[in-house]
Every structure is written in C-alpha cells, then in structure tokens.
Amino acid sequence: MSKHAATAGWLALVWLYCAGSVEAADNEAKGHFLAKVEPFVKQHCVRCHGAEKQSAKLRFDGGYPNLADETIRKNWELAWVKIASGEMPPKGEPAPDTAAMVPVLDLIRAHAATAELAARGAVSGNGLRRLTSREQVRKWTDLLQLHYANHTPDFLRFLAQDPHGEDFINRGDVLLTQQEHVTRLLDLAERMTALVVPDPVAEKPITWNIKPDWIASHEIQQKFYQVNGGAGRPAHLMRTADGMEPSDPKSQLEVHAGCWPHHDGSGMVLNPVYRTRGGLNGFDHIILRYPAPTTTGIVRLVIRARAELPKGETALPELWLDSFLNPGSQLKLEGSGSGKLSYHTVWSLARITVPTTTTDLVIEVPLELTAIDFASLNSGSDKGLWLMLRNLPVPNIMPFLLTREEKNKLQQAGKYRPDSERPPKGTPGWAYYPNDIQDGPKVVIEKISLTVHDREPESDNRRTRVIGKATLGDLKAFAERAWSRPVSDAEIKPYHDLLEAKRKALGEPAAIRLAMTAVMAAPDGIYLPDRRAEKAHGAHDRARRLAVTLWGLPPDRRLLDLAGNGTLLDATVLRKEIARMTADERFGWFTEEFSRQWLGLDEMQEISGSWTRNEFTIAGGYPRNTAIHQAMMAEPGQFLLDAFRRNRPVGHLIAPDQLMLTGPLAEFYGVKADIPHGWQPVKELPEHRRQGILTMSGPMIVASREEKESQIYRGAYLLTRVLGVEVGTPPANVPTIQSLNENPGFRGKSIREKLSIHLERTCAVCHTKIDPLGFAWEHFDPYGRLFINAQGQLRQADTSGMLPNGKKFRDLASMSKVMLEDPKTRGSFPRAFTKALTSYVLGRKLTLSDESRIDALLGDDGNPNLADLLARIMIDDYSRK
C-alpha cells in the first residue's frame, strides 16, 4: 500500500467518528496511530523529549496521547511544525526518511484536529465575529447615507488593517478586537457623524462660474495660445466669486487653463494626456486654486462637458479630478499609512466617463473625510486648495502597445509620428507635440461651477433623514437600523440619557454625535452574533449574516420583515430571498470580496510592476496602466459574478465558456475583442486564456511576487489557494533561489535542477507537493503575459508537473483537466472550491466534522452549479439549530 493510500484510508476512518472525542476512538484507530507514529517518535524524538530528558519541557513518550487536553494537543501541534519545517530533529541527528515522515505528519494533524473539535463540543451556530473593516465602512456609509456624487471617500484608511494571510479574513478566530481597532473605530464614527450633524459654521458657500469665452478672451491667455504656441506654463487668471467684491481675498480663485479653445468657440478642449508631452506643463489641464484655506464642508464641482471622438473610436474619455500638490506645501495623508507625498504629486478624487452629449457632471468631495489632510495644503508658502482636471482616456488603440508592423501602418497613414519628427518647441499650433496617434478622444468643457464651504440644502438635509430631531423615538429608529433588529425603549434610554446629559456641556450637535457614535460602536453595531438558539434574536441574526455576506450591507426592509414574522428560516422562503439577493446589483460585493480574499488579490497593491508605474506618463502609460491594474484586480470578481448569475458549474472557473474583459485588459492579454466601454463577455478566446482564473494576471502577479524564478511561489499559491492543501511554514534560515543564484555553480543549473535541492531531507515534506505545480505557468511572465522572445515566438519551456494526488499534467490546459477529474476526492478543484466557498459563507475555518457536509454539497457528480451551491450552503447552515 502506498503512503498516500494509507493516509487516505486513515482519514476516511477518522471522518466516520470525528464528532466524538479522541479518547473514545476505536481500538483500530488508536492502533493505527501507534503503529505509525510511536516508532517514528522513539527513533527521532524521545532522546530529547522522553523520560530522561525534556528539552523545552516537552515529552512525547508514553503511548497514545490524550489530545483532548489542550496543553498536550498544542505540544503535538508544535511538534508537527518543527518536524515539517525541518527544525527537528536538530542538526547532527539522523534525518527522518521522507516516506515514513509524511504519513506521520498527516496522522498527527488529523488526530489533533479531531480532538479540538471534540473538545469545543457541539457549539450552536458559527459563533461571534466582528465585521471586517471593509464591511464596517460599507455598513456605516449606508447607515449615515454618506454618498457623494462621483466621489467615494477613503474611509477605510482610518481603520486598523485586518489580518491578511492565506485564509479568509472574515473568520471570528482571526478578527480579534484590539485596542487600536477600537480607538480607530470610534475615531471614524466621530468623523462620519460630523458630516451628518456638523457644527455651525460661519463661512457661507462661495461660488465661481467660469465660462470658456472668459478664458479665451483674456489677454495673457491669447498670448499663450497664439504668440508662444502654448509653450511653457500658462499664466494664471483671477476670477471673482459671484456676488462678492474683488477686494475680498476669499472671493479670488486662480485659474490655470493649459488648453486650447474649441474651433467653434463652444468651449475649452482638453486633449488626451497620452498624446501630449510629459510633465505638468505639457499635458492639457485646467487647474483651480482657492488660496483661502478651507478644510470643512463639501467642495462641489459642476462641469458642463461633452466628448468628441475621432472617426473609428468608440471608447469614451475619462475626466479626472485630482487634488494637486503645489510647490510650497507638503501634502500629508491621514489615517493608517500616513506619509508625505512628493512634489507635483496628484491625489485622485474622481473619475467620470464623459458622454458625447453635453452633460452636467457633478463631483462632491467632503473635505473632512477625504484621505488628504487638507490642512497640510495650507502649511506652505503657496497655500490653498488645488484641483486639477485632465482628460485621461483609455481608447481602443494605444500605440505604446502596438507591434512594429501596426506602427508602420499608422505612420504610412499619417497618424503616427516618432520623436524625431516632432516640431521644435514653441511652434504655433503644436503646443503639446503629439508623440503617437495625432488624434484622440477630446473633452470639451463648456462651463465650470465651483462651490466651497457647501452644505446640503435644508430641504434635503442629511441630518433630518438620518437622525431627525434626535428625540427618543428618532434615536430608537436609528439604533434599529444600526443593529438590524427591534430595539426596546429600555435599551435605547441610556443612549438618549447620554445625549441629554451632554447637550448643555458640549452643545447640541456634539451631544447628538456622541449618542450616535455610542449606538454605532455598540456590540450589535460592530459584531455579527449568531444567537440562533434564542427565539428573540435568532432570525434577525441570520438576516444580518445573510445581508452582510451577499451585499456587505445591513438587511433591507423585506429581510427584516421576514425575520420579524418568523418565515425567513423556512427553506422555501429563504431560497427565494437568496435568489432575489443574488440577482440584485449589490451582489457584486460578494463576488468581489470573496475573490479578493480567496485569491489574495489585495497583495497586488504592494506589487509595482512596470504596468503600474506613473513615470510612463510620457508614453501614455499612466491612464492605460492604471486601467489595466484596476481591471486585473477586478477581473476575478467580475468573472465570478457572471458565472454565478448564469449558474455555471464549479468547473467553469478553470474551464470557462467565456471571460469577462475590458478593452485594455483584452489588449493586454492579446484577445481580439471589440469592447468600447466597461466589462463585456468574450467567448472567442486564444488557447492561452481558456483556463479561467488559472490564466488571469491577478493570481499570477500575486503568486509570482515579481520574481522571474517564481516556481516555488507559484506552486505554493496553486497548492494552497486553488487546491486548498495546507503546507507547513518553511524554516527561517532556508535560502531562496534568488539568493542562491549568487553562486555561479548554482546559477548555471536549470530551474528543475535548482528545485531538486528542495527535495533533500525534510524539505521534501512540502516541496514534493509544491514544486511540481510551479511549472504550469512557465509560459507566463510575472505579470501574466505570455513569454515572447525577441523573435516573436513563445519561449520553450517544460510545463509538465504533478498534482499532490499523483496525477501528472503536460501543460496548463491538461492541469486544468486533471484538476476536475474525480471531483469529490481530496485535492480536486471542485472539492477545494466548495470548501473555500463554505468557509467564507460560514465565517469560520472548516474542521473534519464538515467533511460530510462538503460531500453532500458536491452532489452526485461533484460539479455543482455555483448559484445552487451558494443557496445550499446557506440553507443547510441556517436550518441547523
């Protein structure tokens, strides 16, 4: 019998009695443990951890261990880590044989897991967990109705970061509530409520209305356009606010219009950045600077604009609003990750797609809660609030990604000019020196209206909608929305008493904010309890979990009504509600959040490949690369959303009938598709993009860590995240392949020869599973592009390998195929995905007791449809008492 078969046979035996205690296990199971583990322990461990000597006060002799005892169990788990990592036995002692060690480690882990489950007993529900930071921000934003036109404040920056690892973060055992978390939570609640119930301000709204003809007719602008040919930076103009005197410093607005009038006089033209020369003075822009310090209220910008597209172009341009760092300031960021931004840095506040018909585009920025510390803008010699508008389109055709043949065709058609053919600086009519396609999507600005110190009109006041007059009834209604359950007068009275007690000392707005913050930070405001055994709260708790899981939001009125009348837990009603919620646009939260955690996509934020760097502005890479980066992050979630909506089988995720792509991402992948805007399904796929998540850039970027020789990282990623197989933590003193490459003798070896070194001694415990998987992506670079050599051919590479279950594959396509074989067995993709989805929905780590549940969820064919699978997980869980 092979070691894998022996281990699988033992695990099957364990699963039969995993709900019982280890002490009550049958004699056959004990005998199997002693027959395999005890001889190994006697040979390698007892010398230092036996009756005569107890290094680190640990003993591993004495027969079958009582793993129900937490101390003993933790000691054996520690032994597992030490043996698997190669730290034990210590140097100088005989190394254990790999064939004997692997089943021993599997047995120790299986017994420890079973004992832990038995020790904690049959716990009702999935326990208590707090909301993740993203869930908390989303909930409070909805509760306080803090939605702004074309701008989403970066509230998440103010909260402590949730733990990140190779498992889901929405688990109660990892979402610990520490002092820093509480402090930041209260701080954010106070900041957010200040936008709902602000203190009275003396400043009145100030508005400037700017028309293009005023800019174009100004003498210094005419000189800029006609005499200097647009060279250099245009001198600023001063605009007086409506209804104010020019002598009032607060009435003055600086306007820097580095752009050209439209030929028919209808507006100012912002040419796309990618067709202009680099640097602040080079690209078309409109900068508005309000010199008087302002750090409160809403900045409201209304831009009347339209898009003009060249012939053959269908992609609409994007108008970007940035806060601009002026030379005399040091811009700082508030919240976690604070730091100073460098000179000429911009911080994006909004991006708006501009339609071809004239439209008023509205942008609202609440200064109190932006990530920018606007007070720091007023610390330099050139004080004020700087806002900059630019045209950053992502057209269908971008020359810096064109082949040489395509560039030649464009040049022959007179649509492409290399650097050597640019007109000299200052040539009239060539202000920004086209360096690629000579035409592009234009934004025509017809009017700009800027208002600072703005507040919402009284008829639509946020305070009235959220908290009313802050009476006992108003506060009770607010608490019911915050806690998503009925609230009694007795429960809310202490909060109202707090408000009344502080009203005189703090003033009414501050007292109301204090009471609101207390309600928001109450246990039901920041935790997801599971009190299913309690009649008073069970149904509402499950309504909250359902809404937070699928929408990241509190339950809507329908869910609360069903919870209140007791019908939500009926399987038929629950199935209908899950179908309703997955069909809702808010379900996109689920697929985005699940894919981010499942595939570790947040790690992309720390990886700065050439496609993300801002220095490519000159070549047009900045808008293009930003769009690609965002698409790579969002692609798995969009792909999953489409698959859930169409109720595709689990196998579709690695063998799909279509992908969801944007135009820039399709071009990056080499996929021929006409995608003018947004995400679109694409069915005609090249061979190298037919394995779903296995051929997406996001997972490959995270797995590769920007290393050319990333086979081990890639193998570990596929093993843990895609196949759900846990591996031990490597010893801290094991050198990486990259460091070993400094040795000329090592550097000259093939990658497979290098990796064979890891199969020596105890490294084989993990690397026999990891290394064979890492070769499947050999045809892809660290960013998910095909490795094409200088001759334009796919580089030669051996992409064969082996799955942990021993099944071999030739390439990525055959690996995808064998991952779907025997789908109900341990190590297959359908089983691994089903376990991952179940763990995420339940919000806890699965144990051996869940194996029978996974078997039932997989069904007869082991390839369930995604929407049906999600519904079954929830219905099965919610029906359990």
pLDDT tens per residue, range 223-277 = 665 554 455 556 788 999 999 999 998 999 999 888 778 888 888 888 877 554 4
Give the pLDDT confidence score for residue 344 in this predicted structure. 46
Whether 625 contacts 612, CB under 8 Å: yes
Model confidence at 805, pLDDT cuts 50, 70, 90, reads: confident
Lowest mean pLDDT among 195-209, 626-640, 719-733, 759-773: 759-773
Q: Which residue type is seen at 761? A: R
Q: Which residue has the higher pLDDT, 32 or 85?
A: 32
Residue 476 phi/psi, 5° resolution?
-65, -45
Distance of CA 355 to the CA centre of its chain: 29
Q: Is 379 helix (H, G, I), strand (E, B) or coil?
A: coil
pLDDT tens per residue, range 189-207 = 999 999 899 888 767 899 9
CA atoms of 604 and 612, how far apart (whole Å): 10
Give the CA count within 13 Å in the CB-facing half-sphere of 171: 19
Give the pLDDT confidence score for residue 734 in this predicted structure. 56
- Answer positive or negative: Cα dihedral of 398, 402, 406, 408: positive
Q: What is the mean pLDDT of residues 666-686?
A: 87
Q: Which residue type is seen at 27? A: N
Q: Which residue has the higher pLDDT, 10 or 27?
A: 27
Average confidence score pLDDT of the chain:
78
pLDDT for residue 428 is more than 50: no
In which region does residue 414 sit, left (phi positive, over 0), alpha (psi from -120 to 50) or beta (all else)? Answer: left
Give the pLDDT confidence score for residue 469 in this predicted structure. 93
Closest Cα partner for 304 from 430, 148, 450? Answer: 450
Q: Which residue has the higher pLDDT, 430 or 241?
A: 241
Give the pLDDT confidence score for residue 429 in this predicted structure. 40
Give the pLDDT confidence score for residue 19 in this predicted structure. 33
pLDDT for residue 701 is more than 50: yes
Looking at residue 729, the DSSP 8-state letter turns out to be P
**Helix H or strand E encompassing 61:** none
How many CB atoms are closer than 10 A to CB 583?
12
Q: Which residue has the higher pLDDT, 329 or 110?
A: 110
Closest Cα partner for 775 from 816, 812, 728? Answer: 812
Lowest mean pLDDT among 77-86, 415-424, 467-476, 497-506: 415-424
pLDDT for residue 542 is more than 60: yes
Looking at residue 485, the DSSP 8-state letter turns out to be S
Looking at residue 149, the DSSP 8-state letter turns out to be T
pLDDT tens per residue, range 475-513 = 999 999 999 999 999 999 999 999 999 998 999 999 999
Q: Which residue type is seen at 838? A: T
Q: Which residue has the higher pLDDT, 150 or 529?
A: 150
Give the pLDDT confidence score for residue 294 in this predicted structure. 76
Looking at residue 649, the DSSP 8-state letter turns out to be B
**Helix H or strand E encompassing 546:** helix 538-551
- Residues 6+ away with beta carbon under 8 Å from 740: 746, 747, 754
CA atoms of 512 and 517, how far apart (whole Å): 9
DSSP states along 119-140: HH---STT--EEPPHHHHHHHH
In which region does residue 33 sit, left (phi positive, over 0), alpha (psi from -120 to 50) or beta (all else)? Answer: alpha
pLDDT for residue 703 is more than 50: yes
Model confidence at 382, pLDDT cuts 50, 70, 90, reads: low
Model confidence at 386, pLDDT cuts 50, 70, 90, reads: confident
pLDDT tens per residue, range 86-114 = 667 776 677 777 667 777 777 776 776 66
Helices (H), 584-647: 588-599, 621-645
pLDDT for residue 866 is more than 60: yes
How many CB atoms are closer than 10 A to CB 780?
21
Give the pLDDT confidence score for residue 614 in this predicted structure. 37
Structure tokens at 361: 């585009």
Structure tokens at 254: 């600086």
pLDDT tens per residue, range 734-779 = 555 555 555 665 555 566 655 565 555 445 556 666 667 888 898 8
Distance of CA 180 to the CA centre of its chain: 22
CA atoms of 590 and 575, how far apart (whole Å): 17
Whether 787 contacts 779, CB under 8 Å: yes
Structure tokens at 764: 């084989």
What pTM does this model have? 0.79
Model confidence at 44, pLDDT cuts 50, 70, 90, reads: confident
Q: How far is CA 18 from CA 173, 218, 419, 770, 862, in A?
A: 21, 83, 71, 28, 23
Q: Which residue type is seen at 191? A: R
pLDDT for residue 138 is more than 80: yes
Q: Is the peptide bond before 523 cis (omega within 30 degrees of 0)?
A: no
Q: Which residue has the higher pLDDT, 274 or 16?
A: 274
Taking CA 278 as the corner, what is the angle to CA 274 and CA 281, rounded to the nearest 5 degrees?
A: 115
Lowest mean pLDDT among 106-120, 460-474, 770-784: 106-120
CA atoms of 434 and 342, how far apart (whole Å): 28
Distance of CA 843 to the CA centre of its chain: 18
pLDDT tens per residue, range 570-626 = 999 999 999 999 999 999 999 999 999 999 998 887 776 554 443 333 333 444 566
